[in-house]
Structure 1
């Protein structure tokens, strides 16, 4: 041990070890050669000590002789150290995320606090590295003031991870339609809001009225809201939903435990016991009973719970909901695609390097990819498609894309509503629930002890 201490006391040994760690972690792994000048700082700390003589020596002397200065400096140093460490952990290793909606029930519940692994698929380097710590896209106590500046913009770059994305993985990602936010309703999809205005007032007048009512803000990829869904379609897959059942490349989707749909449940006039519904994990807000029709209009049920309710003596009928007709708010928002949440596709999911023939008929499927996600200039003139000013009859995709859906199929805003999720929007993989709070109960009864530190499947 004493020999190791003597070796470590050598300034060149310490410089070499710290430099190697710095090179591997911050230069080689991220592939950021522009961080090489950091070696000069390490050299100064351990070898030349010029900055030490110019600043740190005076700083340490003032701390020794001035009590007020010492106390203030110690607080500042502790805060800076904690901020740097927490930021590095969030970027490279894991981040916390809370489930705000029931779109993933029964796999993940409203009030679940998740630990999201960044190393599962590889940490994604931030697009906007200069930002206020510990917040996402707005400053504390504000819904409008941005928490970041775009003085430095980094292109998409993902480090090597432990595994690859697999079909049916739950994934946290940046909301693809979150590039534009209407501050009048910052939590809602701007493009859905715009379509509603345009249906009511016409294309141009609807856009004008919305812009007159609210300010719009733009957010880069890493500052868009975080969503969590399940990957049901991989790059290169063809998906089809018929009567709410999904087929992938012609085969039925693998069973997902806890997947649920909305059902109409008709009784003989006697409601189902509330405790029974609670035992099934159905929130009170989802159990409205209409005494006039003796029915529950939209009861979210798994197949097991639907069978259990159908066997109750006071239940007359249990019917799964199914959307009818074309839904104008379903991707790709074009009358040529008469799809809805229960009847959707077939749809091919783009794969990096794959080439697709472009036509005016299939352009609605891929237009946002080309214009927004891959940054090309696209125009349609005289019935012809132009990309970056040149006529285009085909397009080769620069990224992989994914199709995401919630396990609560009739209560999930997912890829059926906004299309593909680009690979540069992937944040990480939920690993486990570290805390779970039931919003319908008060403390301490609101703590779901059985979910604490449970793995996400």
Structure 2
């Protein structure tokens, strides 16, 4: 008996079979498209390269950042190689073209940036982007903690962050700098026990942060004290205070009125990274008077982030489109970001506010953590940090 093929079977048999190379190409294309959409719409992976967020986030932490929390941004620079940021992998070749630049919008999210959120954003200043004028969505990614939202009045007073007149809750694992006086020579192995791996000074390698101290006399011997500047948590400092060979611990802070020239708002204001403000964080729709004090704080915002054309700034005046202005109304919201490692963080105290259109997403959890300088190969992975939520 002869077989009778259906029309569907005839069409199937007539369709040429894909070659292995074509199947491989289609699979790769599908994976790239799917990964690009997930990365844009839902979640993106990042790694921590610097200690500015220690000890909340460690160098070598790999984390996922949610785009859904604050709402996904529509692409401003659509012409770019998929799954790249600024350069094609392993080269200095730009991975994008600015031939097309689109207006950017934010899709609805299910929350807004709040005080205390750990946020990934495109860092605004050009000098932090290799002095290249990247489009907003391709500027270098930074991660910091939001300590001030639009309309907040913020001040840093002897290290303590004050928001709207109230102390800002210090993150449990945040670090600051202390000078520790001891009668013992301490090495990297000792500091590693207390998760001090990037921020201490060895007396065998003198720097401006290290100094030999006076002799110390007790009933049994005369010892010469040595000093270490360390960035660590309050919990670790409490442990150090229990060691009998620790003879003193001092916070290393700048004094009020001592100007640090690299700090935002100077030289108009005599601020430093331990004593800063008070300042009001710009809010969309808020209006300010133009004067030398407001120009020092908000002049860069008006010039660089508001989309104004032909802005001319002097210490005493602002012109937009050739016309002098005496008042200014902000066009978008801004945020103030600081690292949890307060004394080793290049943040808003140095370069100012983060515009709302620079916000990328909310850091949600660490999925992998690799120690870049492990004590031994068995400790390369920090197992206790895997799948740790970020708070």
Same fold at TM > 0.5: yes
For residues 364-392 of structure 1, what are the alpha-carbon distances to aligned partners after superposition, in whole Å with 9 as ceiling and x for unaligned?
21112111111213225795432222221
Shift in Å at residue 80 of structure 1? 1.1
For the pair 1:413 / 2:346, whether they are aligned, the reply is: yes
For residues 250-308 of structure 1, what are the alpha-carbon distances to aligned partners after superposition, in whole Å with 9 as ceiling and x for unaligned?
1111232112111111112x134755532321116625235844434420121121122
Which of the residues 329, 342, 348 maps onto 2:262?
A: 329
For the pair 1:359 / 2:291, whether they are aligned, the reply is: yes
SS in 2 for 1:308: helix
For the pair 1:403 / 2:336, whether they are aligned, the reply is: yes
- 5+ unaligned residues in a row in structure 1: which ranges? 1-56, 191-216
For the pair 1:449 / 2:390, whether they are aligned, the reply is: no
Partner residue, 1:128: 77
Contact 1:179 1:218 in 2 (8 A): no
For the pair 1:423 / 2:337, whether they are aligned, the reply is: no
For residues 373-429 of structure 1, what are the alpha-carbon distances to aligned partners after superposition, in whole Å with 9 as ceiling and x for unaligned?
112132257954322222211111011100000010001010011000001111011
Contact 1:264 1:295 in 2 (8 A): no
What pairs up with 1:215-230 in 2 under 5 angstroms?
Answer: 217-230=132-145
Query: TM-score, length-normalised on structure 2?
Result: 0.86
Name the CA distance, whole Å, in 1 between partners of 2:359 and 2:55.
Answer: 22
Question: More relative contact order in 1 or in 2 (CA 8 Å, sep 6+)?
Answer: 2
Contact 1:180 1:218 in 2 (8 A): no
Name the CA distance, whole Å, in 2 between partners of 1:164 and 1:361.
Answer: 30
Partner residue, 1:435: 368
Partner residue, 2:217: none
Specify whether residues 121 and 384 from structure 1 end up closer, same or farther in structure 2 by C-alpha distance, changes over 3 A only: closer
Name the CA distance, whole Å, in 2 between partners of 1:302 and 1:381.
Answer: 42
Partner residue, 2:156: 241
For residues 114-159 of structure 1, what are the alpha-carbon distances to aligned partners after superposition, in whole Å with 9 as ceiling and x for unaligned?
01111011111121111112221011111x3210012221212111
Name the CA distance, whole Å, in 2 between partners of 1:455 and 1:285.
Answer: 24
Specify whether residues 382 and 273 from structure 1 end up closer, same or farther in structure 2 by C-alpha distance, changes over 3 A only: closer
Specify whether residues 411 and 253 from structure 1 end up closer, same or farther in structure 2 by C-alpha distance, changes over 3 A only: same
Which of the residues 164, 170, 188 maps onto 1:255?
A: 170
Contact 2:188 2:197 in 1 (8 A): no
Partner residue, 1:140: 89
SS in 1 for 2:19: helix
Which of the residues 320, 324, 342 maps onto 2:251?
A: 320
Query: TM-score, length-normalised on structure 1?
Result: 0.74
Contact 1:353 1:396 in 2 (8 A): yes
For residues 77-124 of structure 1, what are the alpha-carbon distances to aligned partners after superposition, in whole Å with 9 as ceiling and x for unaligned?
111111110110011000000000111111100000001111011111
Name the CA distance, whole Å, in 2 between partners of 1:381 and 1:147.
Answer: 37
For residues 177-200 of structure 1, what are the alpha-carbon distances to aligned partners after superposition, in whole Å with 9 as ceiling and x for unaligned?
14774xxxx4xxx4xxxxxxxxxx
* Number of corresponding residues: 358
Which of the residues 103, 109, 128 maps onto 2:52?
A: 103
- 5+ unaligned residues in a row in structure 2: which ranges? 1-10, 205-210, 214-224
Which of the residues 180, 187, 197 maps onto 1:283?
A: 197
SS in 2 for 1:366: helix
Specify whether residues 284 and 425 from structure 1 end up closer, same or farther in structure 2 by C-alpha distance, changes over 3 A only: closer
What pairs up with 1:153-168 in 2 under 5 angstroms?
Answer: 153-168=101-116
Deviates more, 1:412-421 or 1:285-294: 285-294
Which structure has the highest strand share of the two?
2
Cα RMSD of the aligned pairs, angstroms, is 2.1
For the pair 1:387 / 2:336, whether they are aligned, the reply is: no
Contact 2:299 2:313 in 1 (8 A): no
Contact 1:272 1:314 in 2 (8 A): no
